[in-house]
Structure 1
Amino acid sequence: MPRLAHVALLVREYDEALAFYVGRLGFSLVEDVPQPEQAKRWMTIRPPGAGADATTILLARAATPEQAAFIGNQSGGRVFLFLATDDFARDHAAFTDAGVRWVRPPAVQPYGTVAVFADLYGNLWDLVQFSG
């Protein structure tokens, strides 16, 4: 059965992306494999607590000026990624303490509790604890 294996996220530089996603958000580094023939790295991360078969984020360094133009705006200014949590208050506090920039404050919606943050490039993410 097909499944979504990776979602590519354009980044400027690998190490600054790791510092944010692993250092600030607590994601796990799954793979970091040099690809010297292509002058890049195969680097995947996943949220803390995600299982080994979970979809990972492929940190893809922009290789051309055309690709670089989309860093931080991969979804045209809409929320791009949705990070589900089982404890909104805990993770919101941890992200705040780590210096994450909140774009919209926490709000209770019919589907759960949500707040929007921007990553180091400006991509918008929902931190959401779904109800039910």
Structure 2
Amino acid sequence: MPHLSSLTIVVRDYDEAIEFYTKAMDFELLEDEQRSPGKRWVRLRPRGAGEYGCAILLGKAKNDEQAAYIGRQTGGRVAFLLHVENFDAYYENLMRYDIKIARPPSVEDFGKVMVFEDLYGNLWDLIEPAQGR
């Protein structure tokens, strides 16, 4: 079955990114392997997403050109949409880590949603889909 397995996020530091995504966003660390000096293969995905859930692959910027894209990979647009079953619980966890809110929570036809920034400024939609969606 074809599916997206991973999407790359350019990061400054592997360990700070792992800490953020595993704690503030409650992702599970799938792989963390040293590939060469300064390069690791690090994949995480939302806890409970299952084996076909799309993961994020952390790619450490290796030069100034790549570093310039940290937090700007999508040109200021929302980069990722994260669906959750319990918006309020997920929101509370994010707030424990002082996450920057780009658009406050609201209820739309499609569900409850807000936009927040990860530690690098990438924009994420947090969505609890409406019943039947």
Q: Do Structure 1 and Structure 2 share a fold, with TM-score over 0.5?
A: yes
In structure 2, what is the equivalent of residue 31 of structure 1? Answer: 31
Percent identity of equivalent pairs = 44
Whether contact under 8 Å (1:25, 1:98) holds in the other structure is no
CA RMSD of aligned residues (A): 1.2
The amino acid that maps onto 2:13 is E
Q: Which runs of structure 2 are paired with 1:91-106 in the superposition (5 Å)?
A: 91-106=90-105
Once the 2 structures are TM-superposed, how far is the Cα of residue 7 of structure 1 from its aligned partner? 0.3
- When normalised by structure 2's length, the TM-score is 0.93
- Rounded Cα–Cα distance in structure 2 between residues aligned with 1:39 and 1:72: 21
Give the 4+ runs in structure 1 shifted more than 3 A.
Answer: none
In structure 2, what is the equivalent of residue 118 of structure 1? Answer: 117
The C-alpha deviation readout for 1:43-67, integer Å capped at 9, x for no partner, is 0000111112211100110112211
| In the alignment, structure 1 residue 49 sits paired with structure 2 residue 65 | no
- When normalised by structure 1's length, the TM-score is 0.94
- Rounded Cα–Cα distance in structure 1 between residues aligned with 2:18 and 2:98: 15
SS at 1:120's partner residue?
coil
| In the alignment, structure 1 residue 62 sits paired with structure 2 residue 61 | yes
- Rounded Cα–Cα distance in structure 1 between residues aligned with 2:109 and 2:77: 20
In structure 1, what is the equivalent of residue 4 of structure 2? Answer: 4
Unaligned ranges ≥5, structure 2: none
